[in-house]
Amino acid sequence: MERKKVIVTENIAEEGLILLKSELDVDFRDGISREDLLEIIDQYDALIVRSVTKVNEELIKRGTKLKVVGRAGNGVDNIDVDVCTRYGIIVANTPDSNTISAAEQTISLMLSSARNTAWASDVLKSGTWDRSPFRGSELYGKTVGIVGLGRIGSMVATRLNAFNMKVIAYDPYISDERFERYGAERKASLEELIQEADIITVHTPRNEETMHMVNENILSLAKDGVRVVNCARGGIVKEAALLQGLESGKVASAGLDVYEKEPAINNPLFQFSNVVCTPHLGADTFEAQKRVGENIAEQVIKALEGGIVPNVVNLPTLLGEELNYLRPYITLAEKMGNIYYQLAKTAISRVEITYSGPISINETEILTIGFLKGLLEPVLWEKVNYVNARLMAEDRGIKIYESKEEKSTKRYKNLISIKIFNHGNEMEMAGTLSRARDPLLVEINGYETETTLEGYVLIVENEDRPRIIGPFATALGDEGVNIAGMKVARFNKGEKAIMLVNVDNKVEEEVLDRLMKLDGILGRPRLLHF
């Protein structure tokens, strides 16, 4: 039997290449030009890249034999996953390969900054033997505040417990059970954590919510002499605020592996002897790179054999012909899942999903997974995919219950109904497809609506009386925000009502603050993005 062929366009560990060569014909072309790759890609069944090679429609169209694209690393920013899906190509990556390395780098920076190790090393190597400037602090007995208790944060917690530190953590999206499992005391807010911590370490994704989350206001609440470590993403700790804290003495030391602008050259933080800086080394260990190479090789081999791929990112051929029918419902389920954490910041205890109508005769497991993927994506560091979404939900203490009804009890032929419970409170929503088979939210917390889940959607609570909706719409226009559609709903006349407003562009935070002050608007409008 003719062996399948794989081209590797960027460097991976030798162990990965050896594993590939045991099963496939391997063409290792590190640094191949774009033009040359386009010329020969039609010869290969698989493609392995890192972060440089752009896998877009131009390349995919030429790769007529391609069945799988492997990314040796965590992200898939350089791969057009939608195009690969459309062409039936599996995309896989290696999200867990660097977890241990990143956790250990965090602790390395913590120890080095607390004990002035790097500074002392530089001075000694320059020819001066003098211990007096370098007296440091022990980790023993100190309180470490971990922001984000996901894969890496929980691994850091486990290791710091062994240092006999008091471990506290803030993560509103993680269940109590996970805190208990990793020996971390839950804090209800970032402010509460900051006030208690001797050392702060961040382990969250970087997004709109977390960018500059550790800023001047937050650091002003910290103990004098607090220590800060960032081995996650540049910008989670605001560099200007950290600079100010170091200059004032509020911050005793810092350990940094990531920066707001990379490559980081002549960063003002580099001037401080009590700041330990490394050039984004979190994943850069021999062991991590070996795991990356071996893991991506294993996945590519399994994909070409038709086996189950552990870290598949997309759904190119799953369910065969049935997928074409279910695909828009998968999109609907994902977008419904995406709503919760945009509105709430509390851990979920359980989810109940009901499929009603003819859709219920299909294999709905993929819809549930789609919902969980959408639910977790806004708040998780690691990439959520159709293989790991259920496992990630269960790992966070979320119990999932599914049921089916032959007929919908509402006026919609097919309906997905969801109840989300968060330890005493709940959120309900229901969705279906429009005539154009676009995702449509038809109910939220009992309010009936028909809102398209595309782009930006404002959710506004308001008094049910005249001269509320018009002035609100005018105010949006005055702010340069165009309304694409609006639905209003109420339970009973004269009670609280809601507006769901599709808008063409993002509504900035300061605009939401001004809208909240309008007569009859109850609370701050909330902006959803799909």
Q: Which fold has domain 330-529?
A: 60s Ribosomal Protein L30; Chain: A; (3.30.1330)
Class of domain 99-277: alpha beta
Question: Domain-by-domain residue ranges, the chain?
Answer: 5-97+288-317, 99-277, 330-529
Distance CA 372, CA 350 (A): 12
| Beta strands in 148-186, from DSSP E residues, in sequence order | 166-170, 185-186
Lowest mean pLDDT among 4-13, 152-161, 356-365: 356-365
In this prediction, residues 431-451 reach a mean pLDDT of: 94
Active-site residue identified among 115, 233, 291, 396: 233
Which residues does residue 350 pair with via DSSP β-bridges, in sequence order?
399, 421
Q: Cα 128–242–135 angle (5° rounding)?
A: 30
- Decide whether 99-277 matches 330-529 in CATH topology: no
* Residue among 241, 253, 287 nearest 103 (CA): 287
Report the DSSP pairing between strands 496-503 and 456-463.
antiparallel
Instruction: Summarize pLDDT for 13-61 with one digit per residue, the tens.
Output: 999 999 999 999 999 999 999 999 999 999 999 999 998 999 999 999 9
Q: Is 29 a catalytic residue?
A: no
> How many Cβ atoms are within 10 Å of 12's Cβ, its own excluded?
27
Largest CA distance in the chain: 82
- List strands edge to edge, sheet with 251-256: 185-186, 166-170, 143-147, 199-202, 226-230, 251-256, 275-277
Q: Which amino acid is at 335?
A: K
Lowest mean pLDDT among 147-156, 304-313, 333-342, 343-352: 304-313
DSSP state of 507: P
- The DSSP secondary structure of 100-121, one letter per residue, reads HHHHHHHHHHHHHHHTTHHHHH
| Beta strands in 241-394, from DSSP E residues, in sequence order | 251-256, 275-277, 350-356
Judge whether residue 146 has pLDDT over 90.
yes
Phi, psi torsion values for 428, nearest 5 degrees? -120, 145
DSSP state of 522: -
Report the DSSP pairing between strands 226-230 and 199-202.
parallel
Instruction: Summarize pLDDT for 354-381 with one digit per residue, the tens.
Output: 999 999 988 788 899 999 999 998 887 5
In this prediction, residues 173-186 reach a mean pLDDT of: 90
Which residues does residue 528 pair with via DSSP β-bridges, in sequence order?
457
For residue 381, the model assigns a pLDDT of: 57
State whether the Cα torsion 49-52-57-62 is positive or negative.
Answer: negative
Distance CA 391, CA 513 (A): 38
Q: Which amino acid is at 124?
A: L
| Beta strands in 288-422, from DSSP E residues, in sequence order | 350-356, 399-405, 415-421
What count of residues does the chain have?
530
* Residue among 105, 61, 99, 78 nearest 10 (CA): 78
Instruction: Summarize pLDDT for 262-272 with one digit per residue, the tens.
Output: 999 999 999 99
C-beta separation of 443 from 415 below 8 A: no
Type and span of the H or E element at 497: strand 496-503
Active-site residue identified among 14, 39, 138, 262: 262
C-beta separation of 48 from 70 below 8 A: yes
Q: What is the chain's percent helix, strand, coil content, to nearest 5?
A: 35, 25, 40
**380's tokens:** 């998780």
For residue 422, the model assigns a pLDDT of: 86
Distance CA 458, CA 184 (A): 36
Class of domain 5-97+288-317: alpha beta
For residue 190, the model assigns a pLDDT of: 97
Distance CA 262, CA 230 (A): 14
**198's tokens:** 């001797």
Instruction: Supply the angle between the helices 99-114 and 117-125 in degrees, to the nearest 10.
Output: 70
Distance CA 300, CA 463 (A): 57
For residue 363, the model assigns a pLDDT of: 79
Distance CA 367, CA 416 (A): 9
For residue 383, the model assigns a pLDDT of: 63
User: pLDDT grade, residue 390 (50/70/90)?
Assistant: confident
Phi, psi torsion values for 448, nearest 5 degrees? -85, 135
| Beta strands in 257-303, from DSSP E residues, in sequence order | 275-277
Q: Is 298 a catalytic residue?
A: no
Q: Cα 354–359–364 angle (5° rounding)?
A: 60
Active-site residue identified among 29, 181, 280, 524: 280
User: pLDDT grade, residue 521 (50/70/90)?
Assistant: very high
Distance CA 163, CA 203 (A): 19
Q: Is 262 a catalytic residue?
A: yes
Q: Report the share of the chain in percent with pLDDT over 70.
A: 97
b/e per residue 98-115 (b: at least 16 CB within 10 A):
bbbbbbbbbbbbbbbbbb
Instruction: Supply the angle between the helices 99-114 and 151-161 in degrees, to the nearest 10.
Output: 50
pTM greater than the 0.85 cutoff: no
Distance CA 394, CA 416 (A): 21
Per mean pLDDT, which of 190-199, 386-395, 425-434 is the most reliable? Answer: 190-199
